Structure formats: C-alpha cells, structure tokens
Copies of this chain bind each other. A is one copy, B any other.
Amino acid sequence: MHAPDGAQRPLNAASFRAHGYALIDWIADYRETLSSRDVNHATTPGAIRAQLSACAPETGEPFDAVMHDLDSILMPGITHWQHPGWFAYFPANSSYESILGELASAGLGVQGMLWSTSPACTELETHVLDWLVHALGLPAQFLSTNTGGGVLQDTASSAVLVAIVAARERATNFVSDAKGLAGANSALVAYSSDQSHSSIEKAMRIAGLGKDALRLIPCDATGSMRMDLLRARIAEDRASGYTPFFVNASIGTTGVNGFDDVGAISRLCCVQSSAKPIWLHVDAAMSGTAALCPEFRFVVEGTERADSWCFNPHKWMPVNFDCDAMFVADRSELVRALSVLPEYLRNAATDSGNVIDYRDWQIPLGRRFRALKLWFVLRSWGLVALRNLVREHVALAQDLAARVQSSSHLQLVVQPRLNLVCITHVEGDAATQALLERVNASGHSFVSHCRFGAANEGVDRYVLRVSIGALATKREHVEQLWNLLAIH
C-alpha cells in the first residue's frame, strides 16, 4: 500500500528474511575474504560521489540493486578496519556477536531514554556495566549499587565532555549551570598531558571553558604526564587566582600508549584542604580492556578516588562501534548537571526516584539499546576468551618489540607495556616516514604515525605506530608486517 501498482514496494517480512539471510552471508563472506583484499582503499576525492545518481529515486528500487551498488561503487572506497593487517590508529573491533547485538537492537527499535520507555534497555545496561566493574577490577564506587554507576556513551569524547560539565558544576556550585561561565566568576582551569587525546581540548571548548584553560602538561620519556610539572602548574595556577577543577589522566595515550600515574594524580586532586577536590577523570579508551587480565591490572591502579573512568569496548573488547563504557563515582553530580525534565517525559517511575533515566547521563535525549551487543559479547565469549584475546595481542606486540630492539636500523620509542609498538628508523624522520609508506603501499598491512619526544628531549620525532589489536590479527600477519619493517 506504500507504492503505486507496478512500483517496487518496501520490504515486507518475507523479503526481509530473504535479503537478511543474503546480507548475513555477505558479511560472513566479507570477513572470510578480508585478508585477500588490500587493507586500504584505492580511491580519490570525489570518485565515489561521481558514481552516485544526482537525486534520490522517485520510485523504489529492488534491494538487490542497492546491494549491487554497495559492492561496485562503495566497497572500493572502504578502508578495511576489520582486516587482519590493521595496525593503524587503534582497532575498532566488530565481532560477530556484536554485529548480531546491533542487529537485534535495530530490530527491536526501542528507545531507552527513560527507564519507562523500555525498562530492559536501562536495567541490562546498568547491570552489565556493574559486571565490568568486577571484571576489570575497578573500585567499588563505580557500582550502581553504591553511589555511582555505569552508562554507555557513544565515545570517550562524549564521556569526557559530560565529565567536564559535571566537574564544572561541582566547582561553581551549579552557578555556571544557571548563569553560565560568564556569570560564574570563576577562572576554572583543567589539566591533561600533552600526549592526551584531542577530545579533551574539544570538550573544553564545547563546554565554554576555552582552549587556554586546558593546561597541557609535558610527559616523561614513556609518555606519562610529569607529576612534578603537574604539581607545580596547579600550585602556580592557584597562586594566580585560578581554580583547578579537572584533571584528565590518560591510561594509554593515542600516540605511544603512555600511562599516567592515576594514584599520584588522585592524591594531588584530593590534597587541597581549602577547596573541593579536583575532578579526576580517567580516559582508558584503548587500554582499559587489558584490565580483564590480572597481570595487566596496572591500568586500573590508583583509581579508588577517581570521579569518572571510561574505556571503549568498541576498540579492543570487541564490541562494535559505538560503545564507550563510562563509570562515575557519584551519579547525582552527573545527573544534576544534565537533567531537564519537561512535562512530556514525566512518568510515575521517574517521579518515584527508584529508576535510572539514562537521558540524564548523556548529551542526547534518545538512546538505542546499546547494552545488547555488549551483553551478547560478554555472554558468548566469556571473560576467559576475552582475556586470551588481550594476551595474544600483547604477546605479539612484545615479540615484535623484541625484534625491533635487536634490529640494527630500527628503534623502540618506548618499551611497550601492552600492544602498541612505536618505532623509529635510526636514520631519522624521513626514513621512518619512508618505512611507513612502504608498509602502507604493501596492501596487506596498514600502520599510522604520531610524533613523540619526551619533554627533556626537546624535539618530536616522526613515529611509526604498530597497534596490534584487530580481532583477525594472528601471528602470520605480524610476520608479514615484520618482513617489510625488517628490510634495511
């Protein structure tokens, strides 16, 4: 009834089944044949668009025609993040289980903005995030059964933004919430290492605090924020009339996977008797997953007094993007900073105060059933298999690092503690960059770069990063990469 006679009709249950099976097969085939594809795309700006029709079709087209164009037009413009030779940036693992979780979520099509608009969506999320507190060895303040609790955000960028907003309001007694920062009469300043993620600066700017109010503290030779410099800067700022309100600790920086000393930072955040504690946020986006393994629990060390902590199951865990797990020590602070309750959302459950309404824990109002895919992965994999995945990648990275160390033409930038191997060529930046280009021209391996130089070195070097964390990556793929790196 949605189309005139003779025209293609939207899918019904029967045709959805047929095309659904075919798409499941398409995905399985894609994954099975990934290693035979070049990992990087082979397109130029505008080439994809040029093949698309100028306007949306007036009448519907057969679904097979759409799938045909997906294959012929779009696939050449895809960079294959699930490829076993994916060593660039960080992984974005999308396991079969999480694909099915995303599918189930789309099939149900529910909204979890309020507990009442689909209680299972809220309760599963709260519960599974409590599971993760236990599984990662996170401190008890992050449990929903205490004062805190977990929430799924899209990304660590959104997590740090809402953390900064809550911290800002704690620092101004919610004056900025009402009157804005121009009216709050506080010179708020935040701290993060100069190796920390760009999302910290972005969040400071979005939150109206400004880029200049973010003090980027230099790092030591391992990529860890220099505590002496942080301490000195906080003292200097206080002496100058600024109010330190927020510190971001990086657990696994993007560049070289440096780890800040969370325990030392938390003591600094709490030590000031004159003022409220400084909000301590921990960004463990990439490396948080490693805490599943007891031997890698250093990634959660010192977290006992952190106000918020997040990691991305959509990186290493492997739950498909987007899925950031954020934990707060005091949910009331976050909720107060983000809550607006218009009449059209009022309901008896909310009024009772006995339920969580996750809309008050995030920027958007609406939210899909994201916990489903996390639950699918945790149930179907189990913690043992997840730990083994982490261990395999770390072992591969450690082996690669040892080879680099024994090589005559390559150097390690830092000793890897987990799964990121950072390499320079002894002949300098141009040679390192040429090496990167050689790897990326191979088709079978794809790496990315950063610049890194410890504060005391005074110069940033061009660094080739080998991030070993893709679900499909096995020893043979690291061998292939090594064969390219080893050429003198």
Contact = CB atoms under 8 A, between A and B. Distances in A.
A160 B19 CA distance: 36
Nearest to A159: B364
B206 A165 contact: yes
A56 B99 contact: no
Query: Copy number in this complex?
Result: 2
A453 B204 CA distance: 39
Contacts of A103: 20, 23-24, 27, 99, 102-103, 106
A134 B11 CA distance: 25
Interface string A358-370: 0000011111100
B16 A28 contact: yes
A219 to B, nearest CB: 14
B26 A107 contact: yes
Contacts of A185: 182
Nearest to A204: B180
A454 interface: no
Given A28-B20, A363-B202, A12 B60 contact: no
Contacts of A177: 205, 210-211
Contacts of A473: none
Contacts of A26: 104, 107
Contacts of A93: 109
A108 B27 CA distance: 7
A113 B76 CA distance: 18
Given A56-B131, A59-B385, A78-B108, 7 more contacts: A60-B384, A65-B379, A69-B379, A94-B106, A157-B363, A157-B366, A182-B186
Give 10 nearest A-B pairs by CB, closest first: A208-B208, A180-B210, A94-B109, A77-B120, A27-B107, A20-B24, A60-B382, A11-B96, A155-B364, A181-B181
B379 A337 contact: no
A260 interface: no
17 contacts: A2-B381, A3-B385, A10-B97, A10-B381, A11-B96, A12-B96, A23-B100, A59-B385, A77-B118, A82-B109, A109-B321, A157-B364, A165-B205, A180-B204, A180-B210, A197-B342, A199-B364
Given A21-B21, A321-B111, A384-B3, A13 B32 contact: yes
Q: How large is the interface on A (under 10, 10 to 19, 20 to 34, 35 or more residues)?
A: 35 or more
A445 interface: no
A151 to B, nearest CB: 15
A152 interface: no
A60 B100 contact: no
A399 B352 CA distance: 37
B41 A13 contact: no
Given A66-B376, A205-B337, A74 B120 contact: yes
Interface in A146-199: 154-155, 157-158, 161, 165, 168, 176-188, 197-199
A390 B100 CA distance: 31
A465 interface: yes
B2 A385 contact: yes
Interface string A1-41: 11110011111111111011101111110111000000001
Contacts of A460: 343
Interface string A447-474: 0111100000000100001000000000
Given A56-B382, A93-B109, A198-B342, A100 B365 contact: no
Contacts of A236: none
A107 B94 CA distance: 7
Nearest to A105: B102
Nearest to A69: B379
Interface stretch (A121-129, A271-279, A303-311): A121-129
A134 B210 contact: no
B95 A201 contact: no
Contacts of A208: 168, 176, 180-181, 207-209
A252 interface: no
A56 B135 contact: yes
Contacts of A95: 10-11
